[in-house]
Amino acid sequence: NQAIGAQGTIYTVWAGNNEVLGAALAAVAIDGVTLTPVAAFQQQFTTLVGAIRQQRPNAAIVVATVPEVTAIPFVTTVQPYIFTPQGQKVYLLGESGPLTDNDRVTLPASALIQQGYGIPGTGLLLPEGSFDPATLTLTQGYILRGQEIGAIRTRTAEVNAVIKAVAGATGAAVLDANAIFNDILLNGYRVGGVSLTAAFL
């Protein structure tokens, strides 16, 4: 309502990131808990962009897609394994068993790993995270299993499909932030003589 009341000539709408980001930050991917259901996002996004188009029919509208949140440094910096002094690769241990190359460990886990969590032989396991539907309590984890990463990526693709469909129905332009971020992942981005990447600083 504030945006419409401002009687703008150009509107930018970048919504949808938090529909998937919470799952990566909590290291728990559950539909309706840390992942917004597609139907709910579609209804809200359609209402949002539709209201702008209806009230400001001559304004330009630009919507942006959602980047791949499982590729941010928060998720990719800490590897699911360590190396022994002899150079042997050893996978970390979570509450649900050993990690694999398909799993990710979130950045805050680095402090726990330094204390021995996840290291075979210490008896200390990296927390996986959970949700108790009885008390509606979400417990943050530190491991994203491959299946959870897949769920986040799928929901990201679904959210982006909604964004593009609503843009098409309302005559809005699409800024594909997801494609831009994927290009930065592959090639980096140079600005002002500085090369920016998706690696942890």
pLDDT of residue 43: 98
User: What digits encode the pLDDT tens for the residues 25-38?
Assistant: 999 999 999 999 99
Which residues does residue 31 pair with via DSSP β-bridges, in sequence order?
A: 35
What pLDDT shows up at residue 117? 97
pLDDT reported for residue 139: 96
Q: Which residues does the chain have with pLDDT short of 50?
A: none
Please give the model's pTM, rounded to 2 decimal places.
Answer: 0.93
